[in-house]
Chains A and B, each alone.
Chain A
Amino acid sequence: MARLTRRSFVTGTSALALGSGILPMPGILRRARAQDGPVKIGCLFSSSGTMANIEGRLNDVVKMAAAELNAAGGVLGREVEVMVSDPASDWPLYAQIGRQMLQQEGVASLFGCWTSVSRKSVLPVVEQNNGLLFYPLHFEGDENSENVVYLNSPPASSVLPAVDYLMSDDGVAAKRFFMLGSDYVWPRTINKQLKGYFESLGFDSSSWREEYVPFGFSNFQSLVQEIRRFADEPGGQPVVILTVVGSSIPDFFREFANQGIMATDIPVLGLDALEADFEGLNTEELVGHLNCWAYLQAVDAPENETFMKNWADYVGANNVPYPPNVVIDPMVSAYDGVKFWAMAAEKAGSFDVPEVRSAFGGLSFSDPSGYNISMTSENNYVSRGVFIGSLNYDSAFDILWQSEGTPKPVPFSEFG
């Protein structure tokens, strides 16, 4: 609440000013959707604000994917041009820039958003303009728009398997759950569904507790004390289900380790925790904490080796300010998105959204996660595999469990 000040407003507007410096001025635009020039795609990823550290690198992944397409002759014979912006972790700005890209720049599709609140802001814009948004994050589900391609998994195929694992004997036979999240739609919906799921399994409402913190919150001292207090109550093995986002993730883990809690005492399932969140953190005291994604860097697959090598080469060649050796799920998902879009456009023989959309059904390829991922014609969800990762000494995640195949995504949750 303290952050809703004049300053953050002014920061936002100025970032827009900076952003419009990156975008060409509307007045000197080529005619939108020229038939012979390059085809434009737009990126909506923040490289400033609380999401900057992790979200920013997706801009470069999309550029890398476009460069690969161009090296192979472009899409439908046309070069792909990527437009980058900086919505500055300011949710309304995503919608504003998205509208500008669709209406003034005539981009063929948008790739963007990390937090669900930013996606919810862009949603009406892509629907009104009949645009196409490729969204690379796993999220709370309960949404099905024909203008959004959900590249990652809804909770039924990512969060629930991870929670099931925690409740199994191979996990820790978890009986009690401390749900800690940032205060917005994704954590609240995930936790609502989890509570419904726990109830359906016969858990009593005293076996969970919910806490929310503001965006960018960093002072986790008393919350970690609350977690210790919760853990010391009788009733069985406690776990933390962490849905804080952005810079709060490393702050939380640092305090967690500082208070001497180990993963074998109270494991944390970090639903938004990625390799990149542990850069600069001493993970020795944090080994064993869990996350779940549709891709982990430790995947042993030739597609993954190629992708990691390409990213390292791209970072080296273009002086990208991100580490060359860290690849995270949303990067792979964004890359998958560009690939799906190109495949669909080639199949449809057109860049027009209705045609591209009708070409989605049946598309599939082996992505860096090693699974053969696919789309159906029923909805714009992608079937992905699921991994549960265990944090190791090198700030990376080892694969503890992975799904047999690619579960069919269920957009709407039956639990709440």
Chain B
Amino acid sequence: MFSRLTPLLRGLLGLMAVLTPLVCGEAAAQGAGAAEVPLDRAAIAAGLCTDAGDTLDRAADALGDASDDDLAFLRRITDALMGRNLVCGETVAIKSGGGTVDALTGAPADASGKTPVLNLRNRASAENLGAALTLLTPSSASDRDRALRVLARRPQGVSAAALARAAEAALDDASRAAIEELAVVASLASEDVSERIAAVEALARTPNRRNLGRLEALKGEPAYEGDTAFRDAVDAAIGEASTWVRIADALSVLFSGLSYASILFIAAVGLAIVFGLMGVINLAHGEFIMIGAYVTFMVQEVLRALAPALVDWYLILAIPFTFLVTAAIGVAIELLVVRHLYRRPLMTLLATWAVSLFLVNIVRVTFGTQNLAFATPSYISGGFTLIGDFIVTQNRLFAIVFALVVLAATWLILKKTPFGLNVRAVTQNREMASAIGIATRRVDMLAFGLGSGLAGLAGLALAPIYNVNPLMGTNFIIESFMVVVLGGVGSLAGTLIAALGIGQINVLIEPIWGAVAAKVIVLLLIIAFIQRRPEGLFAAPGRRK
């Protein structure tokens, strides 16, 4: 959370370091807390350099009754420690913006010295302290949300006094309630039974496996045997929490399956059109996906250069470009290569495979083999907890929504436009369509373009989930063919249902027999199914031979 502070903000903090003693000193002295103990700042600064763990704990204990000014100091120095901006030289200094300032006085200071590295144990203490300080000092709403999430992991890491103070300082009722809930949970080990029961009930209100474990641990305590009210509360809480945990588990399996299915679907839908219409086994399909991702990357870079304010929206703004560029490349390849091979469908396999090698190497030479750096827009980063342990990750959610949009658009094009009508006619019976005056070669070209464009869009949707490098296409080609063959060549509904089936079965098998077995079993299931129904789930009626 602290690295989100831009250099500008850091500069401001540095400035605050200089000004606060002058401006706020008097105000803080008259401040609210009656038992305010001035913090030994020099000792804390020195302690962070020598014995970070103890010092952080000491600082955390002082949170309850430190002055606002001290809190601001603590936050500054904790931020610096976590962001590796603390310099331990002759004096303890903080790197901020371009320069280095003394941690205590805010005066420019010597930048030479070591920057301590937090080990994992101290990092946890620093995260707790940082989160508590975020709640206690003025900070942005998103930072406060993050801080609450950090504290919810380890509510016992912060003293009750600090939490009470944070609740008092909370800006709105929702966050006050959230903080109070944390305080209640922290009092699970309290002496007072009624407080413990309140804590048990609070735990049941956020049912997840960790809280369920905490509740189940209470069963072993003497109070569980001795006190009926307590026992009832614990039993009820366990019952309620375990139900929600089971529901959440089922939902997260469904969500994983659905998100994997949506990835399979967007990767395969372009192939389904091309394969279904022309019988072209397009081995360059994966490379169209890869090129789609690269076009998305270029849109991001252009935005970054021309309109930095819009960079966050590059995924949306890139949609038309990605579609048009990959469609154009598809049309070009159809005109140059595929067109000449319609009479020899197996030859298209070799030709498109050559195209795929060519495209991979072109991209390798132009961009190199390293993974591209995509900015992660806020709307697809991280995730949110819906219930229990069911975390909806936003990049997967984006993929699902995107797949639905692609599905709707493709369906509209195929069913509601004259072009779609032609495509369906050619797919069903090329000779007959030709006889009634449909320009089948033109339909082929446009359909190949549409399929390639859809592959490009798949690349766009996959860029926030997978690594983008010249070889990413090879990962998708096999899965795409599995979906298309299982679904029935050229059938949109078949592609959709096959993707859903493969995605869901994969997710169900993986936890039981492992990821390797899941791939094998899915493949065997597909082979067995194709044995029974060679034309796949939904066969295009005209093409059965």
Contacts and interface: CB of A to CB of B under 8 A. Distances in A.
Interface of A: 1-3, 5, 7-8, 10-11, 14, 47-50, 52-53, 56, 169-173, 183, 211-214, 216-219, 221-223, 225-226, 228-229, 232-234, 247, 250-251, 254-255, 257-260, 262-265, 267, 276, 279-282, 284-285, 287-288, 290, 321-323, 390, 392-393, 398-400
Interface in B199-215: 208-210, 213
14 contacts: A2-B478, A2-B479, A2-B523, A53-B371, A171-B121, A217-B515, A219-B260, A221-B259, A221-B396, A226-B510, A226-B511, A267-B120, A279-B373, A393-B84
A263 B123 contact: yes
Given A259-B391, A264-B120, A285-B382, A280 B3 contact: no
A280 B117 contact: no
Interface string B124-148: 1001000000000000000000000
B84 A1 contact: no
Contacts of B213: 232-234
Interface of B: 3-4, 83-84, 117-121, 123-124, 127, 149-150, 153, 208-210, 213, 217, 252-253, 256, 259-260, 263, 283, 353, 357, 360, 364-365, 367-374, 376, 381-383, 385, 389, 391, 393-396, 465-471, 474-475, 477-479, 482, 506-507, 510-511, 514-516, 519-520, 522-523
A1 B519 contact: yes
A3 B511 CA distance: 21
Given A2-B523, A7-B353, A213-B516, A280 B510 contact: no
A275 to B, nearest CB: 12
**Main SS class of interface, B:** helix
- Which 8 A-B pairs give the minimum distances between C-beta atoms? A321-B368, A232-B209, A280-B373, A280-B371, A264-B124, A213-B515, A398-B117, A258-B393
B514 A212 contact: yes
A357 B5 CA distance: 56
A56 B466 CA distance: 20
B84 A392 contact: yes
B372 A280 contact: yes
Given A170-B119, A221-B259, A322 B374 contact: no
Contacts of B365: 321
B208 to A, nearest CB: 8
Question: Which of B118, B367, B520: most chain A Cβ within 10 A?
Answer: B118
B84 A398 contact: yes
Contact of A393 (B83, B217, B479): B83
Contacts of A262: 127, 150, 153
A171 B119 contact: yes
Contacts of B252: 225
A120 B17 CA distance: 60
Nearest to B371: A280
Given A48-B471, A53-B369, A254-B465, A1 B523 contact: yes
Given A3-B478, A170-B121, A234-B213, A211 B515 contact: yes
Contacts of B153: 262, 265
A9 B112 CA distance: 56
Question: Which of A169, A226, A254, A267: most chain B Cβ within 10 A?
Answer: A254
Contacts of A2: 478-479, 482, 519, 522-523
Nearest to A165: B119
A288 B121 CA distance: 10
B119 A259 contact: no
A212 B357 CA distance: 30
Given A1-B516, A264-B127, A7 B121 contact: no
Given A11-B357, A212-B516, 7 more contacts: A7-B283, A53-B370, A170-B121, A214-B519, A232-B389, A250-B371, A262-B150
A279 B469 CA distance: 11
A55 to B, nearest CB: 10
A378 to B, nearest CB: 36
Contacts of A173: 121
A191 to B, nearest CB: 13
A171 B122 CA distance: 9
Nearest to B128: A264
A229 B393 contact: no
Contacts of A216: 474-475
Nearest to B464: A254
Question: Which of A14, A219, A251, A257: most chain B Cβ within 10 A?
Answer: A219
A222 B117 contact: no
B467 A251 contact: yes
Nearest to B394: A258
A209 B391 CA distance: 23
Contacts of A400: 117, 119
Contacts of B482: 2
Question: Which of A3, A10, A218: most chain B Cβ within 10 A?
Answer: A218
B371 to A, nearest CB: 4
A171 to B, nearest CB: 6
Given A172-B120, A267-B120, A390-B117, A223 B510 contact: yes
A234 B217 contact: yes
B260 A221 contact: yes
Contacts of A281: 371, 373
B526 to A, nearest CB: 10
Contacts of A222: 253, 256, 507, 510-511
A296 to B, nearest CB: 11
Given A5-B478, A221-B259, A250-B371, A53 B469 contact: yes
